[in-house]
A and B are shown apart, each in its own frame.
Chain A
């Protein structure tokens, strides 16, 4: 069985690397980017099963990305989990069409459970 593919986007390379390690250890295939502009292209290329996006990506607003992805044919039905250091942005994420929200810093186990819910 093919590995489930997760696209992770965060402008902090440390976080990006840590999440990649956690999820690869759990047996997922990870595509990671810290460039908001490349998300749409990557999605068409990789066809991820789940998107993990930081609410604020350098130059990009996670909310806008969310809206954009939900309107694209390739990513319309792909679940999106937003993470943010500000719990108050959970409402914004939900409004933008995200399926779930994780507050930073998060517990590894909580992240794995959330991911498993959607895959």
Chain B
């Protein structure tokens, strides 16, 4: 710091007369510039310099007063300096402490002198300080000791205590002078560095990675604990250049040396995967990933390597397992006759198995990277890609039957399209598995055709049989032979049963082929119901069919098919209640639909069978049921018809109490509105 002082100020500080200061300026012992009328302005720096090389020789014969005055000058000077200065007797008792000393410690000089000062030194540092002092006294040398020194507020900070001996003419230490210098910031910085280094070492030692460093000659200068433990060593000293030879195979070692030399030239880190022998068990190899980085001084001179080795044995194993697994999957994919394809979001093929060649006429390598447009006519490709997009948008599987022009002609496939998702569950593409069902479809068609022909061929003799029976019956009636006519009525009923069986077979064939046709019109439901009941009533003398219905309601649908359902339910009711006398039919118009219930009081159906009743070819088994004939088609066809009309069909039944078959049919909208409350 530089401040200006006037001659007056200097005189006051040094307790000399102003004229003395002026003399010093005139004689250029002190540099000053004129200030005001009789003053000088002097840099404090110059003033201090002046004091340090103060030339005035001591008067050979100083008076006591003069000596005291001079000492005062020195004291003032010392007190003027912002340093913690002290003097002590040869035995260590304090004889003087500067103002700054007192100010820092908050201790009055009277307290500090003698042995009082020792309280300002941290208890842990006191003994050391005393020992150093004693040692220095004996050797007659100066000493320095780092202590924690107490501030006025009780806080200890780091200081450097410096002491120099003052010797008498015999060379004995007569007293001590010294200073205490604040090194707290420096000490803290050192500690931070030390802590950071300790942390690094702890980290480097505990980390499950091998770390090593080498100098430019290739000598290992550091290895972490993990590496030492792996080697079965306890210190760096044991770890020499030869250690690497114990670890790596000769050919790998050779490779490492080559990479080392190359890295030194290029300055680039090198990486190598190599198996390391376990030095504690010669048989076990583990895979490690080695990395080494050459290090250079600021001057550009190479001064060694820092390297790591990471145990990648599990990773390697996993990779190998994954490779095996992938190969396994690949062989599954390749060995199936089904077509397996994967597409990305844009529809480009990213995977195709060998089987796809039959469709595309090209090997998988020539399929991947293209989309459907490269293989199919534009309209076909567009349809295929539209379905793909739909599946990827909705994220739902779709099973599609598709007929495609292929290298082997037109073929039919049953294709499952599933969205392909990543680990985050996002749709990233599509998986397609296609099974060639051309032969199956052909067989199905043949079966359908066959069933159609069989049914048709069966119908022809039945038609003439029925006609002959009826002609004969008519003639017996005309001839008055009522008994013979009755036999022919019974024959006609049996022919009707045969006709129903044939029709059911034909209907199932059509349902399966999707060729079941409906002729839909509006009709009055109750009229149909009465007609069917009347017709069915004619087939039984044992049962009486009772109807509970009111009003007339219009239904839109295939009158004949719905009639078929009613006939089926009524004939079932008769068939399965051989000992009952009544069949109860109720028809109720609800808000939007007709609810029809056909109730019998027969053998009933156990509850666990209910769910299967409407399945194709299902027949309830059991002693009673087995005596009643049937194909197991009627309820299946009925259910299909009702479902097709937007209705529901179900059964309420209990074994030996009877069954109630119910179904609903939507009312024609206009009729629904006319209902009370509808």
Interface of B (DSSP majority class):
helix
B463 touches A106 (CB 8 A): yes
Report the nearest B residue to A85, measured CB to CB. B459
A15: chain B residues within 8 A (beta carbon): 460, 463-464, 467
A105 touches B459 (CB 8 A): yes
Is B381 in contact with chain A by the CB < 8 A criterion?
A: no
Q: How far is A108 from B456 in the complex, measured between Cα atoms in Å?
A: 19
B464 touches A18 (CB 8 A): yes
Contact with A along B467-510 (1 / 0, CB 8 A): 11011001100000000000000000001000100000010001
Pick from B455, B462, B470, B499: contact of A22, CB below 8 A.
Answer: B470
Q: How far is A25 from B464 in the complex, measured between Cα atoms in Å?
A: 16
Report the nearest A residue to B464, measured CB to CB. A14
Report the nearest B residue to A12, measured CB to CB. B460
B464: chain A residues within 8 A (beta carbon): 12, 14-15, 17-18
Is A104 in contact with chain B by the CB < 8 A criterion?
A: yes
Q: How far is A106 from B460 in the complex, measured between Cα atoms in Å?
A: 11
A108 touches B467 (CB 8 A): yes
A109: chain B residues within 8 A (beta carbon): 470
Quick one: which of A44-91 are within 8 Å of B by CB? Answer: 85-88, 90-91
B471 touches A14 (CB 8 A): no
A85 touches B455 (CB 8 A): yes
Q: How far is A65 from B467 in the complex, measured between Cα atoms in Å?
A: 25
Quick one: which of A1-31 are within 8 Å of B by CB? Answer: 12, 14-15, 17-19, 21-22, 25
Q: Which of B456, B460, B463 has the most C-beta atoms of chain A within 10 angstroms of its own C-beta?
A: B463
Is B410 in contact with chain A by the CB < 8 A criterion?
A: no
Quick one: which of A88-119 are within 8 Å of B by CB? Answer: 88, 90-91, 104-109
A108 touches B474 (CB 8 A): yes
A88: chain B residues within 8 A (beta carbon): 510, 515, 517
Pick from B463, B470, B519, B560: contact of A104, CB below 8 A.
Answer: B463
- Closest CB of chain A to B307's CB: distance in Å? 85
Is B122 in contact with chain A by the CB < 8 A criterion?
A: no
Is B582 in contact with chain A by the CB < 8 A criterion?
A: no
Pick from B466, B474, B510, B560: contact of A105, CB below 8 A.
Answer: B466
A91: chain B residues within 8 A (beta carbon): 517, 519
Report the nearest A residue to B561, measured CB to CB. A87
A19: chain B residues within 8 A (beta carbon): 467
A87: chain B residues within 8 A (beta carbon): 560
A85 touches B463 (CB 8 A): yes
Contact with A along B450-462 (1 / 0, CB 8 A): 0000011001111
B506: chain A residues within 8 A (beta carbon): 86
B465: chain A residues within 8 A (beta carbon): 14, 105
Q: How far is A88 from B463 in the complex, measured between Cα atoms in Å?
A: 17
B461: chain A residues within 8 A (beta carbon): 14
Known: A25-B474, A25-B475, A88-B517. A104 touches B468 (CB 8 A): no
Known: A15-B463, A88-B517. A105 touches B471 (CB 8 A): no
Q: How far is A109 from B465 in the complex, measured between Cα atoms in Å?
A: 15
Quick one: which of B146-199 are within 8 Å of A by CB? Answer: none
Report the nearest A residue to B516, measured CB to CB. A88
- Closest CB of chain B to A37's CB: distance in Å? 21
B515: chain A residues within 8 A (beta carbon): 88
Closest 7 CB pairs of A and B: A18-B467, A14-B464, A108-B470, A105-B463, A85-B459, A104-B463, A21-B471
List 5 A–B pairs whose Cβ atoms lie within 8 Å, in order of A's numbering.
A17-B464, A18-B467, A22-B470, A88-B510, A105-B467
Query: A residues engaging B (CB < 8 A)?
Result: 12, 14-15, 17-19, 21-22, 25, 85-88, 90-91, 104-109
Other A-B pairs, 17, CB within 8 Å; known A14-B464, A108-B471: A14-B460, A15-B467, A18-B471, A19-B467, A88-B510, A88-B515, A91-B517, A104-B460, A104-B463, A105-B459, A105-B462, A105-B495, A106-B467, A107-B470, A108-B467, A108-B470, A108-B474
